[in-house]
């Protein structure tokens, strides 16, 4: 049964005004909101959505977002481009950026646990025009990612069978629709299972890799760090000498960014998360350990198992055949690994599709709450799913049938390429939101320690993440500017998203006349009062020793 009724206009604040810290008056540039209440977490969210994601769901959604096909299939390309040491350093550096972004996201989300996450944060902390531009950029990217991931899933399935691709597209679409329209807890359970599978596979292939490397397979010699010596720790990329090795290292970093795409989605459904002011920061904090354990260990082991000059690393089949783990296992005579890796990569691709479905629909719902999208997208089912948002995304998902035709697939991936820089745009927005929050705290003489969650390092790490992500964004297509490597398609995929976002931002400012929110008008005191009056805002029970050790999913 759909919930289509109109909700009354809210005329008061979420909590009683207090004399010392009265909430700021509503800004004129946000008066166009469809639900014009003055609450940070709108009453529409509280009534229409259901808190169905528990702590373990959020924890595992964070893992599912951090581990994907980029880890299982993409590491080979990084080793070939940067060498074993270049790839290791590149992933460590990007891992630090990701951890900085997650800390920024966790700190702001704990104060503002709203549907749409950093998109809605930009509305409150920076400028409604930025929320509009970033929000629609996220929606477009997620809507196109769903058919893209389904197409990738079909390629993985065809590793085993030659049945017509349209059959598999139909099956995957139907299952995706069922998950998307189901209670949010169903999505959480599916991601929980997928994340467990990913963890088990990573642990398995790392241990297997060490066994192979140390000579544990009968008849195979001990490798050690042989490939770090021959052909060497770094690879010359595009240029020669030290400059070429640096370019190889830099190319690894720009590629690694997209391996981590999706880690920011864990806060998209904050309004559907139980006790979000504590559970979301907790999930964000553990990203550092996961990045360190999974990616660093995997890159290190792969660099020990496969030579950076191995021509098989350039395989672009998109199946398990391109995985460096599969290459190493095949060389060791272990035949079952390709199918195991391919199966988990299939779950990763479909998991990414589900994650894009969640992020896209919740961002669109959040845009509709603030009047940046048509009112029809506010309609929800009786179990709290914004079904009109889901229906629109399903319509875009039908583009997956383009994979049946090679010519159509080429055109389709042009659309996908347009979103290539979207991840960095989102990360820049997250870092900027947090910086603005800290600046507003200082301007209003409010101690950061009053926030629901705060870490002193974030005052530095957010600036580090912001500057680094801007550099990554501007240099993402650096290869096209080198001699003899100009490629219009690569240039478009690397840079077109920048003018699109700027056009949306400036266009909205011009039409709606919005302005950057003055620091002294950011409603921090109101948000703190809402946090204090939130009945779910209670500290999580103290962890046992086992839970503290269990940094993977506890």
CATH number at residue 189: 1.20.1740.10
C-alpha 440/C-alpha 166 separation (Å) is 53
pLDDT score, position 248 = 94
Tokens (6 digits) for 434: 């947090």
Calpha distance 138→507 (Å, rounded): 17
What pLDDT sits at residue 323?
81
Six-digit token string for 272 = 């559907």
The C-alpha atoms of residue 250 and residue 477 are separated, in whole angstroms, by 11
Question: Rounded to a whole number, what is the largest CA-CA distance in the chain?
Answer: 80
What pLDDT, on the 0 to 100 scale, is given for residue 316? 65
pLDDT in the model for residue 13: 33
φ/ψ (deg, to 5) at 32: -85, 5
- Contact between 105 and 320 under an 8 Å Cβ cutoff? The reply is no
Bridge partners for 269 per DSSP: 115
Alpha carbon distance 64, 199 (integer Å): 9
Instruction: Please provide the distance, in angstroms rounded to a whole number, between the alpha carbons at the two ends of the chain.
Output: 36
24 lies in a domain? no
Q: Provide the H-helix boundaries in 286-370.
A: 287-290, 297-305, 324-331, 337-369
Query: How many domains are contained in the chain?
Result: 1
Q: What is the pLDDT of residue 412?
A: 66
Q: How would you label 276-293 residue by residue, b for 16+ Cβ within 10 Å and e otherwise?
A: bbbbbbbbbbbbbebbbb
397 occurs within a structural domain: yes
**Which helix (H) or strand (E) element contains residue 119?**
helix 118-125
pLDDT < 70: residue spans in the chain: 1-38, 65-66, 287-288, 291-292, 316-319, 407, 409, 411-413, 418-419, 537-554
Tokens of 195: 């994340």
pLDDT at 200: 85
Residue 538 belongs to some domain of the structure? no
What's the CA gap between 103 and 96, in Å, rounded?
11
Domain that holds residue 101: 48-522
pLDDT of residue 387: 92
In a domain, 2, yes or no: no
Strand partners, 273: 53
User: 432 in a domain, yes or no?
Assistant: yes
User: Cα dist. 478→143, 436, 473 in Å?
Assistant: 27, 30, 10
Six-digit token string for 464:
């580090």
Please give the pLDDT value at position 501.
Answer: 94
């Amino acid at each position: 049964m759909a919930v289509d009724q109109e909700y009354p206009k809210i005329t008061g604040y979420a909590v009683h005004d207090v004399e010392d810290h009265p909430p700021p008056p509503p800004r004129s540039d946000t008066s166009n909101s469809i639900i014009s209440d003055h609450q940070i977490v709108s009453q529409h969210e509280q009534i229409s959505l259901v808190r169905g994601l528990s702590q373990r769901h959020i924890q595992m959604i964070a893992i599912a977002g951090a581990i994907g096909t980029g880890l299982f299939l993409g590491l080979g390309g990084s080793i070939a481009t940067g060498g074993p040491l270049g790839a290791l350093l590149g992933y460590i550096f990007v891992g630090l950026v990701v951890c900085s972004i997650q800390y920024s996201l966790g700190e702001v989300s704990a104060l503002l646990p709203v549907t749409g996450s950093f998109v809605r944060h930009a509305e409150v902390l920076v400028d409604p025009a930025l929320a509009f531009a970033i929000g629609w950029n996220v929606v477009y990217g997620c809507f196109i990612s769903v058919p893209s991931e389904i197409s990738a899933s079909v390629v993985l399935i065809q590793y085993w069978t030659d049945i017509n691709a349209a059959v598999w597209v139909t099956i995957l679409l139907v299952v995706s629709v069922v998950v998307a329209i189901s209670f949010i807890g169903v999505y959480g359970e599916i991601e929980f299972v997928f994340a467990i599978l990913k963890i088990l596979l990573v642990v398995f292939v790392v241990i297997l890799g060490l066994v192979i490397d140390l000579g544990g397979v009968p008849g195979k010699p001990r490798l050690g760090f042989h490939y770090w010596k021959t052909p060497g720790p770094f690879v010359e990329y595009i240029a020669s000498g030290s400059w070429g090795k640096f370019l190889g290292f830099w190319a690894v970093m720009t590629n690694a960014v997209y391996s981590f795409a999706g880690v920011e989605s864990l806060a998209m459904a904050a309004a559907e998360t139980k006790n979000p002011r504590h559970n979301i920061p907790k999930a964000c904090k553990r990203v550092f350990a996961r990045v360190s354990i999974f990616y660093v260990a995997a890159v290190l082991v792969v660099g020990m198992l496969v030579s950076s000059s191995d021509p098989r690393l350039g395989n672009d089949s998109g199946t398990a055949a391109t995985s460096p783990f599969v290459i190493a296992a095949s060389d060791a005579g272990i035949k079952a690994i390709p199918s195991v890796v391919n199966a988990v990569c299939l779950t990763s691709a479909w998991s990414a599709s589900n994650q894009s479905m969640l992020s896209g629909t919740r961002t669109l719902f959040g845009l509709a709450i603030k009047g940046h999208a048509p009112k029809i997208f506010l309609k929800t089912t009786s179990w709290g799913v914004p079904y009109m948002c889901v229906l629109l995304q399903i319509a875009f998902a039908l583009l997956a049938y383009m994979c049946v035709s090679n010519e159509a697939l080429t055109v389709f991936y042009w659309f996908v390429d347009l979103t290539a820089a979207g991840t960095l745009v989102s990360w820049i927005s997250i870092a900027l939101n947090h910086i603005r929050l800290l600046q507003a705290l200082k301007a209003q003489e409010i101690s950061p320690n009053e926030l629901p969650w705060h870490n002193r390092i974030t005052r530095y790490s957010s600036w580090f993440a912001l500057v680094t992500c801007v550099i990554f964004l501007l240099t993402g297509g650096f290869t096209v500017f080198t001699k003899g490597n100009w490629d219009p398609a690569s240039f478009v995929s690397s840079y077109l998203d920048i003018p699109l976002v700027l056009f949306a931002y400036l266009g909205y400012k011009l039409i709606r006349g919005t302005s950057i929110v003055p620091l002294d008008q950011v409603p921090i005191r109101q948000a703190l009062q809402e946090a204090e009056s939130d009945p779910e805002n209670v500290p999580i029970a103290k962890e046992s020793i086992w839970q503290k050790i269990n940094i993977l999913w506890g």
